[in-house]
Structure 1
Amino acid sequence: MTIDAEVQALSRVPLFQGLEPSKLRLLAFISDRMEFQDGEHLCHQGDDGDSAFVVLSGEVAVFVDENEVAKVGQYAIIGEIAILCDVPRTATLQSVGTTHILAISKDDFLKLIAEFPKVSLEIMRVLALRLEKTTRELAQARPAST
């Protein structure tokens, strides 16, 4: 994939929408390109969080305690919780089919957040939506009191 194609892909990631193309080009340039085959792991639950991943193509299954909890596809960003919260990875990520990834290092991701407040606001929005969804699911799973 060319840098121009990577810039186009990054512009479709909700977290990075609104960033200037020159900043997206820099982000694409400093990121690592990775390819995973079906069943390969991007990372394991409990690992140190040293990067976030942008799915350029393909699909990634998300496992928590060996249970598949989600699948994410093209233009998703995953793995950001570990680097934002400075905690071990909260999930295992496994490629479904051939998957192409841009890996953004922790340092570069944190610099991006510091430089662009819009990215910080979008991260807060995404994390708040995830928290709301989890809270709702927990409430539905809890047995009603009698």
Structure 2
Amino acid sequence: MLSKLDDSKLKLLAFTSRLVEYRAGDYLFYKDDPADDVYLIMQGEAEVMAKPDCDEESCTEKVVLTRTSGDLIGEMAVISKQGRSAAIRARDGLKVLRIEGDMFVKLLTSNSDVALDVMRQLSDKLAEAQETNNLLQRQLSTQVCGGP
């Protein structure tokens, strides 16, 4: 994404964003948190968490996806102006470029190459989510129907 920006936009991004480091197990944000920033992974891995196993007292979180260097996190919520759809935590030492949501939207609206790159990443994420959903549905069906 950054390679598609000209020097003036890179400088503006450098002044309006910051490099943040997280330790293993630290959360960047939780499900339903307000969407005020987008994160670009510079180094390390982040885990997308879900709470599939809940009862009245607690929920057990499960890693459903992993994001790595070069991936964006949180862009869907910033674009849609909705709360976060999942919790994200650092798998290991994680370095991210934290981009203010308003700045990210300006980057998209003023640079068609960046917007197209983000749309491609979103499309890939939707396809991956659909594949994961299909796998979980098959596993659930197997458990409910008494399969192996």
**1:108 has 2:94 as partner:** no
Pair 1:19–1:68, CA change in 2 (3 A) = same
Q: Deviations over 1:108-139 (max 9, x none)?
A: 00111111111222222222222233334444
Name the residue aligned to 1:5.
none
Normalising by structure 1, we get a TM-score of 0.77
2:25 matches 1:39? yes
For residues 35-74 of structure 1, the aligned pairs below 5 Å read: 35-65=21-51, 66-74=61-69
Larger Cα-atom Rg: 2
Structure 1 counterpart of 2:45, one-letter code = E
**How many residues of Structure 1 are paired with residues of Structure 2 in the alignment?**
130
Which fold has the larger relative contact order, with Cα–Cα distance below 8 Å and residues 6 or more apart in sequence?
A: 2
Which residue, 1, 10, 16 being the options, matches 2:2? Answer: 16
Which sits farther off after the overlay, 42-51 or 126-135?
126-135
- In the alignment, the residues of structure 2 paired with residue 137 and residue 59 of structure 1 have an alpha-carbon distance, to the nearest angstrom, of 19
In the alignment, is the contact (CA less than 8 A) between 1:28 and 1:102 conserved in 2? Answer: no
Correspondence 1:26 to 2:21: no
Post-superposition shift, 1:32? 1.9
Contiguous gaps of at least 5 residues in structure 1: 1-14
The unaligned stretches of length 5 or more in structure 2 are: 52-60, 142-148
Is the contact between residue 64 and residue 90 of structure 1 (CA under 8 Å) also seen in structure 2? Answer: no
